[in-house]
Amino acid sequence: MMQKISPLPSHIAFIMDGNGRWAKKRNLPRKAGHKAGTQNILALLKTLGKYGIKYVTLYSFSTENWNRPEEEIRAILDILGKSLDKEVPALHKNGVKVCHIGHLEKLPEKTREAIANAVELTKNNTAMTLNLAFDYGGRAEIVDAVKKIVSDRIPVQNIDEKLFDGYLYTNGLPEVDLVIRTGGDLRISNFLLWQSAYAEFYFTDVLWPDFDAEEIEKALISYSQRERRFGGV
CA separation for the pair 18, 207 (Å, rounded): 5
pLDDT of 135 strictly over 70: yes
Closest CA to 138 of 199, 49, 215: 199
Candidates 137, 74, 75, 76; CA nearest to 101 is: 137
Q: Is 65 annotated in the active site? A: yes
pLDDT of residue 165: 97
Inform me whether the pLDDT recorded for 164 exceeds 60: yes
For 74-113, write each residue's pLDDT tens digit.
888 888 888 888 999 999 999 999 999 999 999 888 889 9
Whether 6 is in a domain gets the answer no
CB 133 within 8 A of CB 96: no
Give me the pLDDT at residue 227, please. 85
Sheet holding 178-181, edge to edge: 96-101, 128-136, 55-62, 11-15, 178-181, 200-203
Q: Give the DSSP letter string of 181-195.
A: E-SS----TT-STTT
- Categorize the per-residue pLDDT at 1 as very low, low, confident or very high, splitting at 50, 70 and 90: low
What residues make up the domain containing 211? 11-224
78 is catalytic: no
pTM score, whole prediction:
0.94
Residue 200's domain is classified under what CATH number?
A: 3.40.1180.10
In a domain, 82, yes or no: yes
Residue 1 lies in a domain: no
The answer as to whether 131 is a domain residue is yes
Whether residue 34 lies inside any domain: the answer is yes
* Domain-embedded: residue 3: no
The answer to whether residue 116 scores a pLDDT higher than 80 is: yes
CA atoms within 13 A on the CB side of 117: 15
Round the average pLDDT of the chain to a whole number and report it. Answer: 94
Q: How many domains does the chain have?
A: 1
> What distance in Å separates the CA atoms of residue 186 and residue 72, rounded to the nearest whole number?
24
- Which of 17, 135, 177, 210 is catalytic? The answer is 17
The pLDDT assigned to 72 comes to 87
Q: What is the mean pLDDT of residues 127-152?
A: 97
Cα distance between residue 21 and residue 34, in whole Å: 10
From 19, 27, 65, 117, the catalytic residue: 65
